[in-house]
Amino acid sequence: MRRLIYAANWKMHHGPVAARAFVERFNSVVQPADGRDLWFFPPAVSLAATAEAFGARPDVRVGAQNVYWAAKGAFTGECSVALAAEAGARGALVGHSERRHVFGETDAETALKVAALLEGGLTPMLCVGEQLSEREAGHTEAAVRRQLRAALAERTPEQLARLMVAYEPVWAIGTGRNATPADAAAVHRVIRHELAALHAPGDVPVLYGGSVNAGNVLALLAEPELDGVLVGGASLDPDGWAELVGLGG
C-alpha cells in the first residue's frame, strides 16, 4: 500500500510553549493511521519541546530545520547532527530554498550536510527546486538534476535508501502559487530518474512542497509520483494541519 508522508515545516514560528500547545491540540484530534507518516520540523529552540510532547507516538518523527556538518567546535549559532539528535531529531531538512537563496547555502554545503546526517544516523530530507528564471528559461530539469548530483553523488546505495527528497519550486514557496499536479509529477519523474542513475533504490520518498494547502492537497496527492507533501504556512495551525492531513487519509 502506498505510504504518504506529511511534513510540517514551521520555519521561524512556534516557540517551546506554542509548540507544546500545538502538539496537545493536534494529538486530541488526529490519531495514527495506516499508510501515513507525519514529520514536524520546528525551529531549533522548540525541537526538544516538540519531540518530548509527541513522546513515543509511532507515526510522528521530529526533525531539525538545519544542521551544520562539523561534529563540534567554534561555530557560534550552528547545531551539529549530534546535538540535534540529542534534542530529539530523527532527521533534518537540507537545502531548503530559504537556506539556499536567503542564507547562501551552496550545492557543496548540501553535500556536506547530507553526509553528516547519514553518518550521524539521521534522515536527510533533501530539498531541490528551480527559481522562476530557470523555469521560464526551460532549465527546470537541469537545475534539479544538478542539485541532486551535487548532494548525493558520493553516497552509497545503502545510504541513499535512508534519504527523502522534496521538490519545492522556489517560485511557489510562500507565494500562494503552486505547480499544477501534472507539472509536479513531471519533475518528480525527473527526480526518480536521476536517483536511479545514482543507484538509489526505487522507493526513496519524493515529496512536493510549494504553497500546499487543504484546497489543493488532494489533487496533488492524486498523482502517483508524489509520496507526500512538505508544508509551511498551512501547517502552523493545529486544526488546519489536522484537516489537511485528514483529507489524504
pLDDT by 10s per residue, the chain, length 249: 679 999 999 999 999 999 999 999 999 999 999 999 999 999 999 999 999 999 999 999 999 999 999 999 999 999 999 999 999 999 999 999 999 999 999 999 999 999 999 999 999 999 999 998 898 899 999 999 999 999 999 999 999 999 999 999 988 776 666 689 999 999 999 999 999 999 999 999 999 998 899 999 999 999 999 999 999 999 999 999 999 999 876
DSSP H or E segment with residue 58: none
Beta bridge partners of 231: 8
Catalytic residue among 98, 109, 130, 168: 168
Angstrom CA distances, 88 to 16, 59, 64, stand at: 14, 15, 9
In whole angstroms, give the CA distance from residue 4 to residue 221: 9
175 backbone dihedrals φ, ψ, rounded to 5°: -100, -10
Q: Is 199 a catalytic residue?
A: no
pLDDT of residue 20: 98
Predicted pLDDT of residue 165: 98
Distance CA 152, CA 63 (A): 20
Q: Per the structure block, which three cell numbers stand in for 152?
A: 548525493
Q: How many CB atoms lie within 10 A of CB 197?
A: 12
Catalytic residue at 96?
A: yes
Q: What is the largest CA-CA distance in the chain?
A: 47
Separation CA 139–CA 146 (nearest Å): 11
Task: Tell me what pLDDT residue 249 has.
Answer: 62
Residue pair 127/168 in contact (Cβ under 8 Å)? The answer is yes
d(CA 47, CA 205): 23
> Per-residue b/e over 78-103, b at no fewer than 16 CB within 10 Å?
ebbbbbbbebbbbbbbbbbbbbbeee
Answering whether pTM is above 0.85, one says yes
Answer yes or no: are the C-beta atoms of 97 and 173 closer than 8 Å.
Answer: yes
Q: Which domains does the chain have, with CATH numbers?
A: 4-247 (3.20.20.70)
Backbone angles phi, psi at 92, to 5 degrees: -160, 150
